[in-house]
Structure 1
Amino acid sequence: MEESGLGRWFEYESGHAWCESAYKYQTLPYVAEFANTVTNLPIIVLPLVNIMLLRPYLKEVNFALVFPQLLLTFNGLASTYYHATLNLFGQLVDELSLVWIITVFLVVYIPIMKWFPQHFSARLTLVRWVVFVVTALISALCFLEPNLNAVALMLFSIPAAVVINYEGKHSGIPDIESFPSRILALWGVAFSFWFADRLLCDFWLYLGTPYLHALFHLLAGLAGYTIFIMFSMIDIENRSDTHRYTAAVRYFPTKRGSIFSFPYISLKKRSQ
C-alpha cells in the first residue's frame, strides 16, 4: 500500500528524480544522485565568500545584504539534501528557498534599483509587504503540483534576466558593465543543461553521461554568485555618500576575467 501522510514527504525517492538516478546509490549507499549532490558545494560556499569579503561594509553600512546570500547558501544545503534522498520534502524546500531568495533579494535591493519607480519610494514598506504576501501565496501553490514548480521557476528567470541586464547596463560602474552578459551566458548554458537532462535522459544514458543537471548546478551557482557580486557593487556605489569604502572587482585565478574565473570584490576603506 502506498505510504500516505507525513511519511511520504520524507520517504526516499518520493520526489522528482533526475537522469543521474539511473546510477543511484552506486557511489555511496546513502546518496541517490552523487554528482547532483556534491555539485551544490559552490552554491553553499560562494555566497559565504562574498559575505566574508564584504564583512566591514555589511557591519557598518548595510547588513541586510547578508540575508539573500545566506538564503542562497541554504538553497545549496537544501538541494544537497534533496539530491541525496530524492524525497518530496527536500524537493519542496529546495524550490521554496529559491522563491524566497527572489523575494528577499527584491526586498533588500529594490531601493537601489534604477527600474524601481521613484514615486513608489515613499511607499517602500507597502511594496515590500506586497512582495512578501505574493510570495507566501506562491509558496502555498508550490504544494499543489510539485512537479511543475521547477518549470515555473525557470519561466520566472525571463523577467529576472531583463532586470539584471537593465541594472547592470545602467549602473555606471565600469567593473560590472560586462556582468549582465556574463550572467546571462552562464544561465543560458545552465538552463540548456537543465532542460536537456529533463527531456533527453535516454540519450544521455545511451552515451553514459547523465550528468547535465550536475553541470547545471555548477553554472547556475556561478551565475547566482555573480549576481550578488554585481548588486553588491551597485549597493556600495549607491550608498557612497554614507560610507568611506571603495570597491573593485578582481578575478581568480586570472586577471582578465574569463567566463570560468571567479569574480570577487576587493574592498578598501578611504583614509579620509
Structure 2
Amino acid sequence: MPLDISNALFFIIPPILIWLFNQYGCVVSQGVHLVWVLLFFVGVGSAYFHATLSLFGQLLDELAILWVIMAAFSMWFPRRLLPPRFQHNRNWFHLAVFFMGLSCSILACIKPVVNAFALMFFGIPSSAVLFAEVRRCDDNRAVRLGVRCTFIFVLAVLCWLNDILFCDVWVALNFPYLHCGWHIFIFLSSYTACVLFAYFYAKAEFPEQIPTLRFWPRDDWELGVPYVMLKRRGSVSHMKINNYSSKSSEMF
C-alpha cells in the first residue's frame, strides 16, 4: 500500500503541468505534453509492477521511463551539441532517437536486462548536458532550480541505494519506506529536469519570446511547481499574454 501512495505524484502533477504549459505547447512545441503524459504512464507502470511483481509490470515500468528520456532527449537536446547533419534539420534527429528507442524497447522485451543499460546510456549523458546548461546559465532562478533538482536527485539515489543494500537493516528498524522515498524524489527531480530542459531550449531557439521560469501556485514561492512562461518583446502587454493563454486553454 505505501508504494501505491508514493506513486500518487505521477498522477497529480502531470495534468497540472499540461495546463501550465499550454502557452509553451502552442508557441514552442506540442511535444512538451507528450513528456507529461509519459510521466503519467511511468506512474501507471510503477504501480502495476509493484502490485503484481510480474515481468510484464517490470517492462511496463522501465520502458515508460525509457521513453520519457527519449522524448526529452529528442526534443530538448541543445542544437549546438548535435552533429552537423542534425543541426539544420532536427526532424532527422527525432527520427534517429525514435528508432534507437524502438530498438531498445524490442531488445528489452527479448532480454529485459538490456533496458537497464539503455536507461544508463541515455540517462547519464542527459544529466551531463543538463548540468552543463545550468553552469552556463546566467539566470539565478534557473540555477537555483538546478541546485534543487540535483539535491533531490541525490536524495533519490541515497534512498534507492539504502533500500537495495541495507534493506534488512531498515526493516529491522521498522522503517521499510525507503523505496517510497525513491519514487517521490525521483519523480520530483525528473519533472524538474524536464522543466529546465524546456526552459533552456526555448531560451536558445525562441529568444524573442523571452522565456521565463515561473512557479505555481505563487511565483514568489520557489518550492512550487515550476513552469515556463513566454513573454513577447515590444508591444505585447501582460494583458495580451493572459488573453493568449486563455485562448490556448480553450483549445485543449
| Structures share fold, TM-score greater than 0.5 | yes
What is the number of equivalent residue pairs in this alignment?
234
- 1:152-181 CA distance string (max 9 Å, x none): 635753322211101222244332123333
Letter in 1 for 2:224: F
TM, length-normalised to structure 2: 0.79
Letter in 2 for 1:170: R
Partner of residue 70, structure 1: 37
CA contact (8 A) 2:86 2:92 kept: no
Gaps of 5+ in 2: 237-252
Separation in 1 of the partners of 2:231 and 2:90? 30
Is 1:58 the counterpart of 2:25 in the alignment?
A: yes
| 3-state DSSP of counterpart to 2:109 | coil
Partner of residue 109, structure 2: 143
TM, length-normalised to structure 1: 0.74
Question: Which residues in structure 2 correspond to 1:1-272 (within 5 Å)?
Answer: 34-110=1-77, 112-117=78-83, 120-146=86-112, 149-150=115-116, 153=119, 156-240=122-206, 243=209, 246-250=211-215, 255=220, 257=222, 261-265=223-227, 267=229, 269=231, 272=236
1:71 is displaced (CA, Å) by 0.7
Cα 1:137–1:113 change in 2 (3 A) is same
Q: Could you tell me the percent identity over the aligned residues?
A: 27
Separation in 2 of the partners of 1:175 and 1:51? 22
Cα 1:256–1:239 change in 2 (3 A) is same
Cα 1:254–1:240 change in 2 (3 A) is closer
Separation in 2 of the partners of 1:225 and 1:239? 21
| 3-state DSSP of counterpart to 1:217 | helix
Separation in 2 of the partners of 1:129 and 1:82? 30
Cα 1:114–1:193 change in 2 (3 A) is farther
CA contact (8 A) 2:80 2:87 kept: no
CA contact (8 A) 1:43 1:222 kept: no
CA contact (8 A) 2:130 2:197 kept: no
Separation in 1 of the partners of 2:58 and 2:176? 19
CA contact (8 A) 1:165 1:181 kept: no
1:224 is displaced (CA, Å) by 1.0
Separation in 2 of the partners of 1:209 and 1:148? 32
CA contact (8 A) 1:96 1:139 kept: yes
Please, which moves more after superposition, 197-206 or 219-228?
197-206
Partner of residue 23, structure 1: none
Letter in 2 for 1:135: G
- 1:24-67 CA distance string (max 9 Å, x none): xxxxxxxxxx1112211112322322221121231244212111
Letter in 1 for 2:90: L
Give the RMSD, CA atoms, in angstroms.
2.8
Please, which moves more after superposition, 139-148 or 38-47?
139-148
Q: Which has the higher helix share?
A: 2
- 1:191-238 CA distance string (max 9 Å, x none): 121122123221121111111111001100110121122122223333
| 3-state DSSP of counterpart to 1:208 | coil
CA contact (8 A) 2:24 2:230 kept: no
Gaps of 5+ in 1: 1-33
- 1:75-96 CA distance string (max 9 Å, x none): 1121112112222211111100
1:122 is displaced (CA, Å) by 2.4
Cα 1:69–1:158 change in 2 (3 A) is same
1:113 is displaced (CA, Å) by 4.8
- 1:98-143 CA distance string (max 9 Å, x none): 1111111122113x45433556312433322222222222112223
Cα 1:181–1:42 change in 2 (3 A) is same
Cα 1:185–1:56 change in 2 (3 A) is same
